Amino acid sequence: MTSLDHDKAFLADFATLSQFGETRGGGVERQAATAADGEQRAWLHQWLTDRGAEVHYDGVGNQFGLFTVTPGAPYVLSGSHLDSQPLGGRYDGAYGVLASAHAAHRAVRQWATAGSSPRYNVAVVNWFNEEGSRFKPSMMGSSVFTGKLPAETALATTDPAGTTVEDALRAIGTIGDYEGPDVAAYAEIHIEQGRGLENEDTTIGLVDSTWAARKYQVVVRGDQSHTGSTIMADRRDALLGASLLVVAVRELAEESTQTPLHTSVSEMTILPNSPVVVAREVRLHVDLRSPDEALLDAAAKKLAGTIPGIEERASVSIEQVQTHGWGVAPFPAAGVELAAQAADDLGLSHQNVMTVAGHDSVNMKDVAPSIMLFVPSVEGISHNEGEFTHDQDVCAGTDLLTEVLHRLMSGAMDSR
């Protein structure tokens, strides 16, 4: 196949994949272990099998496609996630899984054409529930695979309707007892979900480290009362307390004018959520991120300092627990260098970047030599039906990932 053929084949498959759970606004909605997720997993299963891979599922629904060319050898693993946010975009995760499938298959054929055996095999992975919208937390499948989350905890997690992960996975038939391949190295490619590459007119981002993040679950407790007749002084309004907190969280970002600090509250559960009953309880999530850990710590401290004032003003009590977090953590320099050389050899512009969003590679880098690549996102739009990456960038990224996998299969990260 020529390079043009590769591009055509990839774009045709990406168009097919984008039909699963497609939305009117040009996006997709295929939350973890829903019917649409089951359909796309079945399609990927067939795609991989048709090209000689063996497909297996582990106990939390991670989907592996193994191309075994050197029997008994470990695997270079490459992947991302097919699940999406509600009304999400076509590229987030899905691009990385399909690019991995094409790149792995192309790398395998390159080795076959050359008539030589690589040191390592290659495998594709579709991690279960990276998004964390239906079942929390996010990055669930890779967290279990890397020993950060017990499988039993993940399987017992319920969605808002009370369905467990285990039941949902059984319903779509993608749960098994495979223990996963022996991983020699890990690679992932993803859309940037920011404006950095676009602003610099660069095709490839080489992720050299993560922003730090802190995630909190907050419970605001008030008391039910009548929205009309209860005198204001008697109200213990949990929704007022929650709203004051949302504003305080935004103010942290507004006050950080030197170093970026990203803050948000995007989910609330309001009880009883009736138009004439003052809310007795609001549960919400706070998300703080920065490339500067000290700044993040100071912001978290400042937020904690605003809570007593909010408790007093709304006559509520507020409980805040950190549920998740990570520091500014490097990806191995050897991997960044390997990918930079491969990009140079392919004539692709590149720059080092940090990742603000969490990715499965953030888990994987702690257990295997890992490489994380970005392609540009138009206007940085993500978690939105309008998410877009130009075809030429999509194809360039797949070309680079093919080259990276080929080099990793030769053991290029071993000696570094």
Contact set for a second copy, span 273-292 (CB under 8 A) = 273-280, 285, 287, 289
Using the contact rule CB under 8 A, the part of the chain among 144-152, 201-209, 220-228, 406-414 near a second copy is: 220-228
Please report whether residue 225 would count as binding a second copy according to CB under 8 A.
yes
Using the contact rule CB under 8 A, the part of the chain among 50-58, 262-270, 342-350, 397-405 near a second copy is: 262-270
Please report whether residue 239 would count as binding a second copy according to CB under 8 A.
yes
CA-to-CA dists, residue 178 to 11, 59, 97, 169, 395, angstroms = 31, 7, 19, 14, 32
Count Cα atoms within 13 angstroms, Cβ side, for 90: 22
CA-to-CA distance for 57 and 86, rounded, in angstroms? 24
The one-character DSSP state at 59 is T
The nearest distance, CB 229 to a second copy, in angstroms, is: 4
Question: 10 Å Cβ neighbour count for 143?
Answer: 25
Please report whether residue 373 would count as binding a second copy according to CB under 8 A.
no
Residue from 68, 70, 227, 410 binding a second copy (CB under 8 A): 227
Using the contact rule CB under 8 A, the part of the chain among 56-64, 97-105, 144-152, 269-277 near a second copy is: 269-277
Using the contact rule CB under 8 A, the part of the chain among 35-43, 52-60, 118-126, 250-258 near a second copy is: 250-258
Give first-to-last CA distance, the chain, whole Å.
Answer: 32
DSSP string over 3-49: HHHHHHHHHHHHHHHTTTTB-TTS-B---TTSHHHHHHHHHHHHHHH
The nearest distance, CB 135 to a second copy, in angstroms, is: 11
CA-to-CA distance for 407 and 383, rounded, in angstroms? 32
Please report whether residue 352 would count as binding a second copy according to CB under 8 A.
no
Kindly calculate the radius of gyration of the chain based on its CA atoms and give it in whole angstroms.
23
The nearest distance, CB 275 to a second copy, in angstroms, is: 4
The 40-79 contact track toward a second copy, x by CB under 8 A, reads ----------------------------------------
Chain residues 115-144 in contact with a second copy, contact rule CB under 8 A: 131-133, 136, 138
φ, ψ of residue 373 to 5 degrees: the values are -115, 145
Of the pair 263, 402, the CB lying nearest a second copy is at 263
Please report whether residue 361 would count as binding a second copy according to CB under 8 A.
no
Residue from 218, 240, 348, 375 binding a second copy (CB under 8 A): 240
The 318-347 contact track toward a second copy, x by CB under 8 A, reads ------------------------------
Q: Give the 3-state secondary structure of residue 208.
A: strand
Q: Which residues pair with 212 in a beta bridge?
A: 290
Of the pair 180, 380, the CB lying nearest a second copy is at 380
Size of the site for a second copy (CB under 8 A): 72
212-221 β-sheet, strand order: 262-271, 281-290, 212-221, 317-326
Find the angle CA(79)-CA(82)-CA(86) to the nearest 5 degrees: 145
Please report whether residue 266 would count as binding a second copy according to CB under 8 A.
yes
CA-to-CA distance for 377 and 397, rounded, in angstroms? 12
Question: 10 Å Cβ neighbour count for 234?
Answer: 12
Chain residues 72-91 in contact with a second copy, contact rule CB under 8 A: 85-88
Of the pair 4, 233, the CB lying nearest a second copy is at 233
CA-to-CA distance for 276 and 278, rounded, in angstroms? 7
Residue from 101, 123, 185, 265 binding a second copy (CB under 8 A): 265
CA-to-CA distance for 277 and 254, rounded, in angstroms? 33
Of the pair 264, 352, the CB lying nearest a second copy is at 264
Using the contact rule CB under 8 A, the part of the chain among 46-54, 57-65, 72-80, 222-230 near a second copy is: 222-230
Of the pair 240, 342, the CB lying nearest a second copy is at 240
The nearest distance, CB 198 to a second copy, in angstroms, is: 12
